Amino acid sequence: MTPMVDLFTLLLTFFILTATFRPQEAAPVDTPFSVSETPMMDNNVMTVLIAKDNKVFFNVDNGPDTILKFRPKILAEMGKRYNIEFTDDELRKFEKSGAGFGVSIQDMKAYLDARTADEKKVFEKGIPIDSADNQLALWILFARQVNPAVRTMIKGDAEVEFPVVKKVLDILQDKNVNRFNLITNLEKIQVTEAKTE
Amino acid sequence: MAEIIQEEKGKGGKKKPRKGDAHVDMTPMVDLMSLLITFFMLTAAFSKPKVMEIVLPEKIRKDEKVEPPKIAESRTLNIILGPDDKVFWYPGKADPAVTVLQETDFSATGIRQVLLDRNRALFKKIDDFEQKVLKGEIEIKQDSMQNAIKQLKKDDDTGPIVLIKAYKTSKYKNFVDIIDEMSIVGIARWTFTDISWIEENLVNAALGIAPVAQAPAK
């Protein structure tokens, strides 16, 4: 028994140490395939997520150091713009969750106060991106103000119709973001194919 | 699961004093550990998602008096992403009377071949360079290699200038695929632009839909 226990302990230690907990995605997204092999960066990242049903989600990280607390700062800025005061508790919840959200700022308070995932789901209607109330543009603006080093990721579902993606690209370009990273899955292709004369 | 040691009382009641093989029962610990291992194995995410970087040209705002850059017509290759994974392409400038869209697809013999035919010179240069590095004829660091390839692309003046446009019913997947083709074939100059009404009508005609797009009112 002892060798087995030894092995188990080793394995357990290995898995505990390598485990990186990823917050649950706001929406299931099947990313398209590409040959790009650049791995995704860990921090200084804002992600615009486009789900299959054309809902737009947004996510931004806390920065390379936990004391930076970028997320609550961005939320506070956003609240200021819409005259919504967030309590410390709500800001802390927002900081800790680390997950993407597809909630309009008007619903954000109720969304943060909701206790269960089912309750939260009700508010996930996607971030408004129409020109009348373009909240995505403001999120991008404040994310870049709070963290100038932030990089833009677009994580779209393979089956999303292009006009929605185009809209998101336009919003980003309006905010002078011209460099994007598209999140994809690695696809093995035969490079020899391209060498045919 | 702990061991239960039943003392045998029936036989004469003679208790033998146990000799020093006191052992700790490890079964519960092993149980717990295998559970934990299973949990961590299942939640572990080993592969990070990959990213593909694209840089789009800065938008020209309406109030700015900047002309969009002019490009040679002979080198221009227009690619229009259509519905159902179709790809249309035509060289040069769109002219409703003359331009005929060629239809192809995302297979290795489809759009890749079209691009490769036009980009052969540059592709060969990059390929030769990579081969030489592989064989050890050129010694260069990984970072400098990327830069060297970038420089090769920059110096290229024969390859196509690819303009990618997306028809309204195309999918995001197609967009990623076509950018992917650009990097596979090593296209030096490509960008993504809005589809014009002329092109939209050409695609409509190719799909058998009555032309609906109109010239924008000036």
* Sequence spans of domains, chain A: 23-195
pLDDT at B203 over 60: yes
**Residue B3: pLDDT band with limits 50, 70, 90:** low
pLDDT score at B132? 84
**Residue A24: pLDDT band with limits 50, 70, 90:** low
Helix-strand-coil split of chain B, %, nearest 5: 40, 15, 45
A181 closest CB neighbour out of B40, B44, B53? B53
> Is the minimum CB–CB distance between B44 and chain A shorter than 8 Å?
yes
Percent of chain B with pLDDT over 90: 0
Taking Cα atoms as reference points, which of A121, A88, A93 lies closest to residue A107?
Answer: A121
Domains of chain B: 73-118+160-207 (3.30.420)
Please name the residue of chain B whose CA is at the shortest distance from the CA of residue A190.
B108
Average pLDDT value for residue range A155-183: 87
Q: Which residues of A touch B46 (CB under 8 A)?
A: 18
B112 closest CB neighbour out of A165, A169, A194? A194
pLDDT score at B110? 83
Average pLDDT value for residue range B11-16: 57
Are B160 and B77 spatial neighbours (Cβ–Cβ below 8 Å)? yes
> What's the pTM?
0.77
> Is the minimum CB–CB distance between A22 and chain B shorter than 8 Å?
yes
Average pLDDT value for residue range A93-106: 84
Pairs across A and B, CB distance < 8 A: 152
Complex prediction ipTM: 0.79
Q: What is the dihedral of CA A171, A173, A179, A181, to 10 degrees?
A: 20
Q: Do A180 and B166 touch (CB under 8 A)?
A: no
Percent of chain A with pLDDT over 90: 0
Mean pLDDT score of chain A: 83
Q: Which residues of A touch B29 (CB under 8 A)?
A: 5
A183 closest CB neighbour out of B30, B51, B167? B51
> Is the minimum CB–CB distance between B32 and chain A shorter than 8 Å?
no
Average pLDDT value for residue range B87-104: 81
> Is the minimum CB–CB distance between A35 and chain B shorter than 8 Å?
yes
> Is the minimum CB–CB distance between B30 and chain A shorter than 8 Å?
yes
At residue A34, φ and ψ (nearest 5 deg) are -150, 170
Q: Do A8 and B37 touch (CB under 8 A)?
A: yes
**Interface with B, mutate which of A48, A55, A162, A179 (most B CBs under 10 A):** A162
**Residue B11: pLDDT band with limits 50, 70, 90:** low
Sequence-ordered strand ranges (E) for chain A: 33-34, 38-39, 45-50, 56-60, 151-156, 179-186
- Residues ≥6 apart with Cβ < 8 Å to A53: none
CB < 8 Å from B in window 134-193 of A: 153, 155-166, 169, 173-174, 176, 178-186, 189, 191, 193
A124 min Cα distance to partner chain B (Å): 22
Residue A171, SS3? helix
Minimum mean pLDDT range among A149-153, B110-114, B137-141: B137-141
Are B103 and B88 spatial neighbours (Cβ–Cβ below 8 Å)? yes
- At how many degrees (to 10) do helices B27-43 and A2-18 cross? 30
Q: Which residues of A touch B58 (CB under 8 A)?
A: 173, 176, 178
Minimum mean pLDDT range among A24-38, A88-102, B1-15, B110-124: B1-15
pLDDT at B141 over 60: yes
pLDDT score at B118? 82
pLDDT at B1 over 60: no
Q: What is the tens place of the pLDDT at every residue in A56-94? A: 998 888 888 778 888 888 888 888 888 888 888 888 888
Taking Cα atoms as reference points, which of A188, A102, A8 lies closest to residue B184?
Answer: A188
Taking Cα atoms as reference points, which of A136, A148, A162, A161 lies closest to residue A47?
Answer: A136
Q: Do A184 and B108 touch (CB under 8 A)?
A: no
